[in-house]
Amino acid sequence: MNKADRVIIGVTDCGKKFPNYENWIKAHGSHVEVVKLGYRFNNLNEANNCDAFLVTGGEDVHPKFYNKPEYLEILDVTDVDERRDEFELKVIELAEKNSKPLLGICRGLQIANVYFGGTLVPDILTHLNVDGHNKDEDDDDSLHHISVARGTELQKIVHETSGEVNSAHHQSADKIGDGLRANAFSKEGIVEGLESNSSEDAPGILLVQWHPERMKNQLSRFAGNIREWLINEAWKWK
């Protein structure tokens, strides 16, 4: 296939769960190519060839990157990878400076919020006394409803103002980063989505706390429409 006939999506490495994201993106069609980006491959240069980016889920962001180093004491240090943080912050910087579309999923939302100057709730249960966002006792994603703010880009994408999504996180956005706005919330007020606060002509930035790539109902607008958005934005940039 000619290069002009395909879009290239840079997807950040997240270890054993990477195929979930890769397969989800590739399921859109043969015109989509995935490039795995990660510090283990030292291939930030390949990001220059990508038309859009997906920053994946995974470890906690080291709190030093949002000026809360004291939070490290309450985190599992084996679930923190500073090298990944540093690499993904560079990917997000490259996306911003080159006006390339960016989709962040779970941790992807969190580190993008940090990049733009935001902070994180280090643990939803202990800091906000809210349960039901992490995995359940059977290690399956929790399910809960969210409300979508009217007039946001997310609302235009999913054509809904509420819906059910999956959930597997113990952190969330606290202070919202510069140039971003919240577009979805859980019933407890947890931020479930962020997006660019710029004009419609600005490059797309969509960040979601749920996992569209592994929702059981891939026909849900909160899964399929998210992927469609990313591919469309990649074509627009191209």
* Catalytic annotation, residues: 106, 211, 213
How do beta strands 7-12 and 32-37 pair? parallel
Dihedral angle computed from the Cα positions of residues 126, 103, 175 and 17, in that order, rounded to the nearest 10 degrees: 20
DSSP states along the chain: --GGG-EEEEEE--GGGHHHHHHHHHTT-TTEEEEEE-TTTT-GGGGGG-SEEEE---SBPPGGGGT-GGGGGGS-GGGB-HHHHHHHHHHHHHHHHTT--EEEETHHHHHHHHHTT--EES-HHHHH---SSS--TTSPPEEEEEEE-TTSHHHHHH--SEEEEEE--S-EE-SPPTTEEEEEEETT--EEEEEE-S-TTSPPEEEESS-GGG-S-TTSTTTHHHHHHHHHHHHHH-
